[in-house]
Amino acid sequence: MRKIDKIILHCSATREGRNYSVDTIRKWHVEGRGWSDIGYHYIIHLNGEIEEGRPLRRSGAHTKGLNKNSIGICYIGGVEATRNKKGKWTAKDTRTEEQIASLNYFICNLMDEYPEATLHGHNEFAAKACPSFDVQEEYKDIIEYYGR
């Protein structure tokens, strides 16, 4: 089993209110990027359903340089429903109440299961907005509770 020392949160960078299947994201990663599988270990759907992506026994493909010892969790969403005046997508925390509840529950379970794991947002390791919110601020109570 891989030694897990980081749990890294991501967004799918997809439009607010639109759900996407694990198979669709897998297709983007395999056909679009040439990867062997979906990059994330878990996907959190708009309704809060948690679905497995890449098997946990395999390293992910979600955070360059940190995949070997991390778990990648991706919530569906992360950008506004329409493009801005410049035609670009604007990052936005689009998590539904169900996604927020699922993430809270799931993060605590993973922190229990992996006692050395710390919690992070993708944007802590890359010049990206992903996951479109500040993980350290959002989950400060959980991080403090686990002392990590």
Residues involved in catalysis: 10, 40, 122, 128, 130
State the Cα–Cα distance between residues 80 and 90, nearest whole angstrom: 6
State the Cα–Cα distance between residues 67 and 72, nearest whole angstrom: 8
Q: Which amino acid is at 124?
A: E
State the Cα–Cα distance between residues 47 and 97, nearest whole angstrom: 8
Edge-to-edge strands, sheet with 50-52: 50-52, 42-44, 70-75, 6-11, 118-121
Whether 40 and 62 have beta carbons less than 8 Å apart is answered as: yes
